[in-house]
Amino acid sequence: MDLNDDLAQIINGCKNGESQSFAKVIDMYSSRCYGYFYRLTGNTDVSDELLSELFVKLVEKINTYKGGSFESWLFRVASNIFHDYLRGKHRQKKAIDIRTVEAESQIIENKKSDSEQIDKLQIQLLRLDEDTRELMMLRFYSELSFKEIAEMRSEPIGTTLAKLHRGLKKLKESMES
Amino acid sequence: MDSKKENLRELIEKFMDPKNTRIYLEDIEAGERILRQHPAPRPDDMLIANIKANIALHKLPQRTVTFRKRVYEAIAVAASLIIIATISLRSLYDTPQHHGPTDRGSLLQVGWWNNEDETHVQILNEVRDIYTQLEQIETTDDNYDALVLDEYKKQIIDLENRIIEFESSENNYAGTGILDEIENQINELGGSFWQDDYSNTDAFEI
Residue A55 touches partner B, C-beta closer than 8 Å: yes
* Chain B contacts in chain A segment 129-148 (CB below 8 A): 136, 139-140, 143-148
Residue A48 touches partner B, C-beta closer than 8 Å: yes
Q: How far is CA B50 from the centre of its chain?
A: 29
Q: Chain B: nearest CA to A17, how far in angstroms?
A: 7
| pLDDT in the model for residue B106 | 30
Cα distances from B119 to residues A7, A171, B87, B202, in angstroms, run: 52, 81, 12, 40
Domains and CATH numbers, chain A: 3-176 (1.10.1740.10)
The segments of chain A whose pLDDT lies below 70 read 1-3, 92-118
**CB-based burial label for A68 (10 Å; 0-12, 13-18, 19+):** exposed
DSSP SS3 for B168: helix
Q: Which residues pair with residue A144 across a beta bridge?
A: B2
| pLDDT in the model for residue A16 | 87
Among A152, A109, A149, residue whose Cα is nearest residue A127: A109
Please tell me which of the candidates B4, B5, B34 has its beta carbon nearest to residue A171: B34
d(CA B120, CA B127): 10
Predicted model pTM:
0.58
DSSP SS3 for B144: coil
d(CA A15, CA B179): 45
| pLDDT in the model for residue B90 | 55
The chain B residue lying nearest A27, using CA atoms, is B48
d(CA A92, CA A86): 10
User: Is ipTM over 0.90?
Assistant: no
| pLDDT in the model for residue A118 | 63
Residue A89 touches partner B, C-beta closer than 8 Å: no
Sequential pLDDT tens for chain B (206 residues): 445 557 888 888 888 888 888 999 999 999 999 999 999 999 999 899 989 888 887 654 555 556 656 666 666 666 666 666 655 555 555 554 444 333 333 333 333 334 445 556 766 777 777 778 777 777 776 666 676 677 777 777 877 777 777 666 655 444 556 556 665 655 565 555 444 443 333 333 33
Q: How many residues does chain A have?
A: 177
| pLDDT in the model for residue B154 | 77
Instruction: Kindly provide the b/e burial profile for residues A50-61, where b requires at least 16 CB atoms within 10 angstroms of the residue's own CB.
Output: bbbbbbebbbee
Angle between helices B45-94 and A19-41 (to 10 degrees): 140
Contact B15 A158 (CB under 8 A): yes
Contact A18 B41 (CB under 8 A): no
| pLDDT in the model for residue B140 | 72
Contact B52 A22 (CB under 8 A): yes
Residues of A in contact with B41 (CB under 8 A): 34-35, 38, 44
Q: What is the pLDDT of residues B49-67, one digit of tens each?
A: 989 888 887 654 555 556 6
| pLDDT in the model for residue A105 | 58
Show me where the domains of chain B are located.
9-37, 62-204
Q: What is the CA radius of gyration of chain B?
A: 32
Q: What is the CA radius of gyration of chain A?
A: 17
DSSP A35-92: HHHHHHH--HHHHHHHHHHHHHHHHHHGGG--SS-HHHHHHHHHHHHHHHHHHHHHHH
The chain B residue lying nearest A28, using CA atoms, is B48
Residue partners of A4: CB distance under 8 A and separation at least 6 = none
